[in-house]
Amino acid sequence: MLKVDNLHVTVENREILKGVNLDISPKKFHVVMGPNGSGKSTLALTIAGHPKYQVTKGEILLEGENITALSPDERTRRGILLAFQNPHEVEGVRIIDFLRQVLTELKGMDPAEAYDLIREKAMELWFKEEDVHRYINVGFSGGERKRLELLQALLIKPRVLILDEPDSGVDVDSLSIISRKIDELHSNGTAILLITHYGRILQHLDPNSLEVHVMKEGRIVLERGGDFVREIEEKGFQAIFEECGCNE
């Protein structure tokens, strides 16, 4: 579905990604792990088309189409959605208005039908009815922002969903609902690339469906099955990098 081929990315004249190769299929549940600063968010933002991240070499293919030069908007229209690690406040834009516009434009939905669906899905994610009339992320807590990112995903049902630490700063009950909803999207055919530091969000998933990609200094250096998450949590990245000779 999504293929990243020898991707080199520069930010502010500094090379952050140094040849990333990644193959994302909807059959597997793809997890990206790696130390702080290894380039996980950079990879996510580059796939989403953030203008600050300059691709100097390599390409991003969506079902064979080279999308490396497309705008973020064109990528969204083709079905790529990024749930941000740090969702920003958008003063003056109400959640309901934004999402209704997305659904009518992207999915050709009737505005009244869209309104009902947004309310229904928002409540499934434990928002109160009045919350959808608030400005995007303004005054929302860290965990609420993560749920709001997921609300967009549940409504859009993207072909490829990239989730950048949807579990950070989230309480245990919210984590459980977030995890179930991500699994629901995956079961319905969305290809998932989930960036995380912890195995907890994966605990409801079949370990055989997981593929773990480990990043180190701008490259993917290890690709293993689901059991690897526990090994990472037990040993830590440095010991694992020593063992695999990845430090050489």
Residues at the interface with ligand ATP (CB under 6 A): 11-12, 16, 34, 36-42, 52, 85
CA angle 32, 1, 25 (to 5 degrees): 50
Q: Which is nearer to ligand ATP, 187 or 247 (CB)?
A: 247
Which run of H or E residues covers position 56? Answer: strand 54-62
In a 10 Å sphere around its CB, with 0-12 CB exposed, 13-18 middle and 19+ buried, how is residue 231 labelled?
A: middle
66-93 burial, b for 16+ CB within 10 Å, e for fewer? Answer: ebbebeeeebbeebbbbbbbebeeeeee
Cα separation, 222 vs 75, in Å, equals 28
Q: Which is nearer to Mg ion, 84 or 228 (CB)?
A: 84
Q: Which is nearer to ligand ATP, 52 or 133 (CB)?
A: 52
Using the contact rule CB under 5 A, the part of the chain among 51-59, 77-85, 96-104, 183-191 near Mg ion is 77-85
CB 166 within 8 A of CB 182: yes
> Please, what is the minimum distance in Å from the beta carbon of residue 227 to Mg ion?
24
CB 214 within 8 A of CB 30: no
99-128: contacts with Mg ion (CB under 5 A): none
Which does residue 226 bind out of Mg ion, ligand ATP, none, counting CB within 5 to 8 angstroms by kind? Answer: none
Which does residue 36 bind out of Mg ion, ligand ATP, none, counting CB within 5 to 8 angstroms by kind? Answer: ligand ATP
Q: Using the rule CB under 5 A, is 38 a contact of Mg ion?
A: no
Q: Which is nearer to ligand ATP, 36 or 188 (CB)?
A: 36
Q: Which is nearer to ligand ATP, 118 or 195 (CB)?
A: 195
Other Cβ atoms within 10 Å of 19 Cβ, number: 15
CB 71 within 8 A of CB 50: no
> Please, what is the minimum distance in Å from the beta carbon of residue 164 to Mg ion?
6
42, 90, 98, 117, 136 from 94: Cα distances, Å: 28, 8, 6, 16, 6
Q: Using the rule CB under 5 A, is 174 a contact of Mg ion?
A: no
Q: How many residues bind Mg ion (CB under 5 A)?
A: 3
> Please, what is the minimum distance in Å from the beta carbon of residue 123 to Mg ion?
30
> Please, what is the minimum distance in Å from the beta carbon of residue 228 to ligand ATP?
17
Cα separation, 114 vs 233, in Å, equals 42
Q: Which is nearer to Mg ion, 30 or 40 (CB)?
A: 40
Which does residue 39 bind out of Mg ion, ligand ATP, none, counting CB within 5 to 8 angstroms by kind? Answer: ligand ATP
Q: Using the rule CB under 5 A, is 41 a contact of Mg ion?
A: yes
CA dihedral of 15, 89, 111, 130, whole degrees rounded to 10: 150
The site for Mg ion (CB under 5 A) is made up of: 40-41, 85
